[in-house]
Structure 1
Amino acid sequence: MTDLRSSRLLRILIASTAAAALTAGLAACGSDAPSSASADKAAAGTVTVADLSNGAGTRTEIKVAEVAALHAELPASVAKSGQLVIGVGALPAGSAPLAFVGSDQKTLTGAEPDLGRLVAAVLGLKPVVQNSTWENLFVGIDSGRTDVGFSNITDTEERKKKYEFASYREDNLAFEVLKSSTWNFNDDYTTLADKTVAVGAGTNQEKILLEWQAQLKAAGKQLTVKYFPDNNATHLALLGGKIDAYFGPNPSIAYQITQDAKTPNPTRSAGTYSGAGASLQGLIAATAKKDSGLAKPVADAINHLIQNGQYAQWLAAWNLSDEAVTAAQVNPPGLPLTNS
């Protein structure tokens, strides 16, 4: 009788252990699950940015605490939940330094989810980061499964029909050149005369570059535009002297510069330009469902981070200091409908 009871107890313990392991495994796959050390630091008022970045950023521990007055601004449903569900559209591959899988092959790292975590800390909420495809990011916001998107989303007038924004970073393009180059853009397209510049086909930066090419041609000057099949081929062309510069998204170029820093052919930025063109500074913004009531507390949390220096630490950790804003704005002017 004793052996039978022992056997039954053993089977129950094994089944319970297996069920617990399965539940833990599913939770790790479906959520932003920090290590126990990270959780302890978060509880103590520390957010680690550029963690597991594999050289794309500089790991930095940032002290940040809840601000009760800002927590009080939250919509009741979010405050009651105790968490901020942060959407990132980085599947399938991600893009350094904005959002990508870290060196442990499972943790989502990058400038975008890191800012979401900092904002959550200021608002006194637990950050829950959900990674999805770009399209499903907006599906999540629309359905209410996601509170706010931090995913390099440009503020546009078209998007304002469905969403509200809290801006936090300039939407900039940049020119990448060899570090040995003496050329600088200086916010003047006429300096591109007699240069050969690579750009991605079908991109916003191509549209801008071709407009400059036409203006230079009208003035009797030449700008040669070249295309390559992918970023690797473009980079090799730059290193090999086949082009003078590459015109692309500033964050991607900032990342490439960090990768080149210790190679025989380091590169640098020769200047930035607004992704919205000459008439408007494009802005990247946290994005919530229209009339959700989240844009203001998120913007106020970002302004708190700006005023107390944590924002500058976050940008510096990801080599994006040249995209800093002086203040977060709620629903600032966005790309016009004709350019959205």
Structure 2
Amino acid sequence: MRTLSLRSRFHRGVIASAVVASLAAGLAACGGDSDAATKTDSAPAGTVTVGALSNGAAKETQLKVTEVKSISAELPKAVAESGKLVIGVGALPAGFPPLAYVGDDQKTLTGAEPDLGRLVAAVLGLKPEVKNSTWDNLFVGIDSGKVDVAFSNVTDTEERKKKYEFASYRQDNLAFEVLNKSTWNFDGNYENLAGQTVSVGAGTNQEKILLEWKGKLEKEGKKLTVKYFQDNNSLYLALSSGKIDAYFGPNPGIAYHVTQVAKTPNPTRNAGKFSGAGATLQGLIAATAKKDSGLAKPVADAINQLIKDGQYAKWLAAWNLSNEAVTTSQVNPPGLPLDNS
């Protein structure tokens, strides 16, 4: 899996709304980093509001979260004494809904990623301070100590473990999007793609996977047609008109688009997922901290507390990402191999 190419396509593919792009432009003007997105909601003490200001991408949900002393006691001394958790998100310049983007107040960073960061901070008894930056500056922030931990759709890879430590919290998945009226579903086996016409982004990890399946089907005397489009408008026009049967792309972006077209004449649905790491390894998205910082363990324990108490499932459901749930947060789980990072 070429993680960066997948991420690049993810950023391009999910920004389907010109409104979101125009809102994000205000943050981009601030430069490489922005503190403009640190505003929190006015929920009662002991609650965290997820899905706030989401421009219709999420169901706003208030979750009760309190500090767990046994977990906050694990924090590195410097972080505990600061009283805050500095959360890094690499969403400049345009954001990537539904994971991280400018909310409908035109200044607050919303999305599933900063929401989880705020939930984790609550379990740790810390005040969340969200810093938005470019993708490259996100890692500069971690390296320099300006950011404690990133919640920014970072894939756990063996290459990145050389510099960072991880606490997993979501599956890293690709998915197929089809019209609601379609009866086709992907069952995890490439053979049920026979006879389908599927669109995919050029130069992406999902294209690599899809072309490998196409080659296998051709050897079996079966046909899979792959089509490309230069922009999302053309892609979804082709889907709604029946020129293609499905779109193969990053699961979160598809989840977002499904919510955006739910009440239109051509609603769509998720027709099945596939690990971004391929058939032999479930890819994982993970909170990312500097190696040997001592943060991965308390962050993982905080996430597991959220899983145990049910807030984790409600967080995912609010953002239509329940199909990326993990049963437990792991510290430095097996990641993308070095030869595929």
TM-score, with normalisation over the residues of structure 1? 0.89
Name the counterpart of 2:180: 179
1:65-214 equivalences under 5 Å are 65-214=66-215
For residue 235 of structure 1, give the secondary structure of its aligned residue in structure 2.
helix
Counterparts of 2:170 and 2:251, CA distance in 1: 11
Deviation at 1:194, TM superposition (A): 1.0
Q: Describe the superposition over 1:113-161 as per-residue Cα deviations: whole angstroms up to 9, x where unpaired.
A: 0000000000000000000000000010011100000000000001001
Structure 1 Cα separation of the partners of residues 37 and 181 of structure 2: 42
User: Does structure 1 conserve the Cα–Cα contact (< 8 Å) formed by 2:36 and 2:107?
Assistant: no
Q: Say which of 10, 24, 35 aligns to 1:30.
A: 35
Whole-angstrom CA distance in 2 between matches of 1:165 and 1:30: 24
Answer yes or no: is the 8 Å Cα contact 1:178–1:265 preserved in 2: yes
Preserved contact between residue 156 and residue 334 of structure 1 (Cα < 8 Å): yes
CA distance in 1, matches of 2:113, 2:130: 10
Give 1:259 deviation, angstroms: 0.9
* Change beyond 3 A, Cα 1:31–1:71: farther
Which digits, 9 at most, give the CA deviation of each residue in 1:275-318, with x for residues without a partner? 00000000000000000000000000000000000000100000
C-alpha spacing 1:140/1:283, structure 2 compared with 1 (3 Å): same
Distance (Å, rounded) in 2 between the aligned partners of 1:31 and 1:127? 14
Q: Which runs of 5 or more residues in structure 1 are unaligned?
A: 1-25
* Aligned position for 2:325: 324
1:176, 1:253 within 8 Å by CA — same for their partners in 2? yes
Partner-residue secondary structure (3-state), 1:90: strand
Residue identity opposite 1:228 in structure 2: F
Q: Is the 8 A contact 1:31 1:128 kept in 2?
A: no
Is the partner of 1:132 in helix, strand or coil?
Answer: strand
Query: Equivalent residue of 1:166, what SS?
Result: strand
CA–CA distance in 2 between the matches of 1:314 and 1:168? 12
SS in 2 for 1:286: strand
Q: What letter is aligned with 1:99? A: A
The alpha-carbon distance between structure 1 residues 183 and 314, as it changes in their structure 2 partners (threshold 3 A), is: same
- Give the superposition deviation at 1:31: 4.8
SS at match of 1:332: coil
By how many angstroms is 1:39 displaced?
A: 4.6
Query: Is the Cα–Cα contact under 8 Å of residues 176 and 247 in structure 2 kept in the other structure?
Result: yes
Q: Is the 8 A contact 1:87 1:146 kept in 2?
A: yes
Letter of the aligned partner of 2:333 in structure 1? P
Stretches of 4+ aligned residues off by more than 6 angstroms: none
Matches within 5 A, 1:196-235: 196-235=197-236
Whole-Å separation in 2 of the counterparts to 1:264 and 1:235: 13
CA contact (8 A) 1:141 1:289 kept: yes
Check whether the contact 1:158–1:337 (CA below 8 A) recurs between aligned residues.
yes
**Structure 2 letter corresponding to 1:68:** K
The alpha carbon displacement at 1:58 in A equals: 0.6
* Higher alpha-carbon Rg: 1
Q: Per-residue deviation at 1:324?
A: 0.2
Query: Which residue in 2 is equivalent to 1:253?
Result: 254
Contact 2:89/2:114, CA 8 A, preserved across alignment: yes
Q: Which runs of 5+ in 2 are unaligned?
A: 1-29
Contact 1:172 1:323 in 2 (8 A): yes
Q: Distance in 2 between matches of 1:274 and 1:335?
A: 11
**Equivalents in 2 of 1:82, 1:169: separation in Å?**
26
Distance in 2, matches of 1:51 and 1:39, equals: 10
Kept in 2: contact 1:117–1:127 (CA 8 A)? yes
- Report % sequence identity: 74
Structure 2: distance between partners of 1:245 and 1:139: 38
AA aligned opposite 2:132: N
Deviation at 1:230, TM superposition (A): 1.7
Q: Decide whether the 8 Å contact of 2:175 with 2:248 is kept in 1.
A: yes
Shift of 1:34: 2.9
